[in-house]
Amino acid sequence: MVEHNTFIVIITLALACSFFAWIEAAKQEQKSEKNGQLLNDAASAGYVILGAITGGKSFCFLKLNLGHKSPKGNPNQLWIEGKGNVYEMNYWISPASSEKNVKDAAYMSLDVNKPLHTIVYNGCRAYPRELGVGDYRIEIDARNGQWVERLTITEKFGKLSQKIRVFDPSNNQTIHEEASSATD
């Protein structure tokens, strides 16, 4: 399976490099405004195709669907929400206090190895995992990159609330933020 996925990634990258090399060559040859417009259309189509292959700027995150209790009650069931299709996704959940320090016993305390999700479709779906009140760091890897989610779950007067921040770990830039509370 890994060899097959590696082969697909290598072929995808080779095709993408060839396509962008073709675009660069075409840019060098453009001689008129009309040709320039055609080139821009071709480049746009290329980015759409590349995005469909890699996932482009799509991302996903874990959250509680606060309107639905899991069969066991609290803690609530996690849901995966995709903003666009995300390919070959895996994640790791740890207490936020561990800050990705693998020497911290807390970092390894919550999660286990799990299967690779070949695709997370746009939208929201239930996931067979539950989390209770706490502050979590969720590291997510996919074909199109890596991002981190900070999920904070609190309870006040018997009602759960969550605050979600998804960010790019390379520059700490926020990709997505939301907050919600349970309704009766």
Higher pLDDT, 149 or 120: 149
Per-residue pLDDT, 41: 58
17 CB contacts (<8 Å, ≥6 apart)?
none
- 13 pLDDT higher than 70: no
The answer to whether 137 and 98 have CB atoms below 8 angstroms apart is yes
92 CB contacts (<8 Å, ≥6 apart)?
111, 138, 139
The answer to whether 64 and 76 have CB atoms below 8 angstroms apart is yes
Per-residue pLDDT, 107: 82
Q: Which of 181, 125, 84, 173 is nearest to 165 (CA)?
A: 173
- Tell me the per-residue pLDDT of 114-145, one tens digit each, with 9 for 90 and over: 667 777 888 888 777 888 899 999 999 888 88
- The pTM of this model reads 0.68
The answer to whether 65 and 77 have CB atoms below 8 angstroms apart is yes
- 30 pLDDT higher than 60: no
Per-residue pLDDT, 90: 87
- 4 pLDDT higher than 70: no
Find the distance separating the first CA and the last CA of the chain, reported in whole Å: 45
- Tell me the per-residue pLDDT of 50-94, one tens digit each, with 9 for 90 and over: 555 565 788 889 998 886 654 555 457 888 898 888 888 888 888
Cα 122–Cα 123–Cα 127 angle in degrees, nearest 5? 110
CA 98 – CA 34 distance, rounded (Å) = 56
Integer Rg of the chain from CA? 21
CA 162 – CA 133 distance, rounded (Å) = 9
Cis? peptide before 75, omega within 30° of 0: yes
Higher pLDDT, 95 or 115: 95
Query: What percent of the chain lies above the pLDDT cut of 70?
Result: 62
- Residue type for position 173: Q
DSSP letter (8 states) at residue 97: G
